[in-house]
Amino acid sequence: MKQARGPLAGVRVLDMTGVVLGPLATQILGDFGADVIKVESLDGDLIRDNGVVVTPGLSSLFMGVNRNKRSLAIDLKRPEGVAAVRRIAATADLLVHNIRMEAMERLGFGYEAMRALNPRLVYCVATGFGQDGPDRARPAFDDIIQAASGLAALDETPRYMPTLVADKVTGVAFVNSILAALFHRERTGQGQYVETPMLETMVSFLLAEHMGGIAFEPPVGGAGYARILKGGREPAQTRDGWIAVLPYTDDHWLAFLRAIDQEPLAREIVGDRVAKNTRVGELYAALRIALKTRTTQEWLDLCDELDVPATRIYALDDLPNHPHLKATDFFFESDHPAVGRVRTARPPQRFSQTPAEVRSLAPTLGQHSVEILQEAGLSQTDIDALIARGIVKTAPLGAIA
């Protein structure tokens, strides 16, 4: 693994997360330069074979949330495994997990036990539900949180978004919480317990614009931002495809409506905030009718001329050839020693002095077990004994380019 140059270079993370939420968060920490030690069971993370699989254990999904990490495969049901990981925790800056709290307590990795071992440790847990509520022990996955948070019911027919939105939004919020606690630790020397619950995070995220009438007591109508829910904002057909056009300001609407010969509608609605909010559906209806009369490129050219936000609709398969993403080298190809040639998305953040970067691709299960245990102070004899007794698994491949 290349030496880190990012803003978190020198920060050691004991990563006891699995599936998507936690691994996405720790991947971002790794992108920022942290040394992320991914602790896995001897069977590996549950998503090692989810998605497209070319090489068993290194699926597309697993590789998408586990770069810039080192893998330690160890049996935490055995006291020797627990003892080894406790040695790592004693030197870590962060312990990050999304395991149920009762299970962590049974393993001996609860907050109080870890604080006694390492008072400067920032102990970070992502939970399904806040631990001060009645649902604190309930299992939670993305679909469950989409349903419980109100997200699945935004349409008239309840449906899940076809992306792991609850996992990923909470994962990013988790990173924010971790960084804030780490900043506090750097100022004061104090570690602390940090909890980021999925349900509360998603409700807060959703209600930023959808609080609506329930923002008041007594309520003034129901929840929801009508301009989005009932205003007609949606992709529209052109003569030869699909497009997204979003006249947002009054100037946008006036310019666009004049261009499609809808001057009377512009004069009647635009400029009157109340009229625009209550009749915005008429504006979008006129827009959709007009868009069918020209090609996508013709509309894009006009929107550029009018400075109206617009883009063609890109499918997932189109993204590697997106002109902007190509120009910024967002995707790059490299050789994974176990998988072969792979395509990777670069970290989107830009730091002028401490660059976020991809230093290593996703590890094989136990790829770094020996080196991690050596760093923790175990002798080679002790490590060999752990491997021989089936407590540690190793699969060395050398450095990943």
Q: 263 pLDDT exceeds 90? A: no
Residue numbers of the domain that contains 261: 236-312
Q: What is the pTM of this model?
A: 0.95
Claim to verify: residue 47 and residue 181 sit in the same structural domain: yes
Of 287, 312, 337, the residue that ends a domain is: 312
Query: What mean pLDDT comes out for the span 192-208?
Result: 98
How many domains does the chain divide into? 2
- 398 confidence band (pLDDT: 50, 70, 90): very low
Q: 36 pLDDT exceeds 70? A: yes
- 397 confidence band (pLDDT: 50, 70, 90): low
Of 281, 312, 343, the residue that ends a domain is: 312
Q: Note the pLDDT tens digit of each residue in 114-129.
A: 999 999 999 999 999 9
Q: 373 pLDDT exceeds 80? A: yes
Query: What mean pLDDT comes out for the span 233-257?
Result: 94
Residue 353 lies in a domain: yes
* pLDDT for position 396: 63
Planar angle of CA 74, 76, 77, nearest 5 degrees: 125
- 399 confidence band (pLDDT: 50, 70, 90): very low
Q: 324 pLDDT exceeds 60? A: yes
Share of the chain above pLDDT 90, in %: 90
CATH code at 274? 3.30.1540
Residue 257 lies in a domain: yes
Q: Note the pLDDT tens digit of each residue in 101-155.
A: 999 999 999 999 999 999 999 999 999 999 999 999 999 999 999 999 999 999 9
CA distances from 64 to 37, 217, 363 (A): 17, 44, 12
Q: Note the pLDDT tens digit of each residue in 288-307.
A: 999 999 999 999 999 999 99
Of 312, 337, 357, the residue that ends a domain is: 312
Q: Which among 304, 310, 268, 307 has a CA at the least distance from the CA of 287? A: 310
Which residues, other chains included, contact 147 with Cβ-Cβ below 8 Å and sequence gap of 6+? 153, 158, 160
Mean pLDDT taken over the chain: 95
- 400 confidence band (pLDDT: 50, 70, 90): very low
Query: What mean pLDDT comes out for the span 185-193?
Result: 97
Query: What mean pLDDT comes out for the span 375-395?
Result: 97
Q: How many CA atoms lie within 13 A of 306 on its CB side?
A: 25
Residue 225 lies in a domain: no
Claim to verify: residue 272 and residue 350 sit in the same structural domain: no
Claim to verify: residue 302 and residue 345 sit in the same structural domain: no
Claim to verify: residue 382 and residue 284 sit in the same structural domain: no
